[in-house]
A and B are shown apart, each in its own frame.
Chain A
Amino acid sequence: EAQVTQNPRYLITVTGKKLTVTCSQNMNHEYMSWYRQDPGLGLRQIYYSMNVEVTDKGDVPEGYKVSRKEKRNFPLILESPSPNQTSLYFCASTDFRDYGYTFGSGTRLTVV
């Protein structure tokens, strides 16, 4: 089944403790992206990657890092999480052809 897999689904952590949210897609898509969703602010892009080793900032990149060492994986790294990064995170991928973006199921992160 074609899908984007994120892990973990839920995570509660403390301020300053580094964490990584993993994202993997099995569709051989070149383009991958991370979004965060907050009440009243909607979905906003954090980072995106056009291909392996090619990444760029989205609208809200502060406090996040990404890497794209392999085509299928696009992890989101929070080096020093803060409470304002408490949010619902989605990874997505596309090949810019017929079916738009495929989104993962989401990761609900709480930073205390």
Chain B
Amino acid sequence: DAKTTQPPSMDCAEGRAANLPCNHSTISGNEYVYWYRQIHSQGPQYIIHGLKNNETNEMASLIITEDRKSSTLILPHATLRDTAVYYCIVWGIYNQGGKLIFGQGTELSVKP
């Protein structure tokens, strides 16, 4: 079973920041938080990951709480092309053969 909890859906206005929350209260010390997204029925796409520090790349920012029990993915200026299902995944190389365990994700709709 997935170790994360996400809201099933969210809306965001185009050009505004999209903040996608994720709870992972049972995360272990050696597990990372990964975010992927899936646009329509394409293959999931890696966005960003972190262990305990906040991270930023050209796509998004990841804010992880100090106790590591939750995180937020931030898309700073959402566009219509960011409409997708976003998956928050807790992953550890030593856990279950290093596989990704997908939950149901958050369906983000970016509206004009």
Mark A residues whose CB is within 8 Å of B: 4, 31, 33, 37, 42-45, 48, 50, 56, 58, 88, 90, 92, 94, 96, 99-106, 108
Interface of A is mostly: strand
Known: A100-B34, A106-B41, A108-B41. A48 touches B46 (CB 8 A): no
Total cross-chain contacts (CB, 8 A): 49
- 21 contacting pairs across A/B (C-beta < 8 A): A4-B43, A31-B98, A37-B41, A42-B103, A42-B104, A43-B44, A43-B102, A48-B97, A48-B98, A92-B43, A99-B46, A100-B36, A100-B46, A100-B49, A101-B36, A104-B43, A105-B42, A106-B41, A106-B42, A106-B43, A108-B41
In the complex, how many angstroms separate the beta carbon of A69 from the nearest chain B beta carbon?
Answer: 20
Complex CA gap A44/B64 in Å reads 26
Q: In the complex, which range does the number of interface residues on chain B fall in?
A: 10 to 19
Contacts of B41 in A (CB 8 A): 37, 88, 106, 108
Interface of B is mostly: loop
Known: A42-B104, A96-B93. A58 touches B99 (CB 8 A): yes
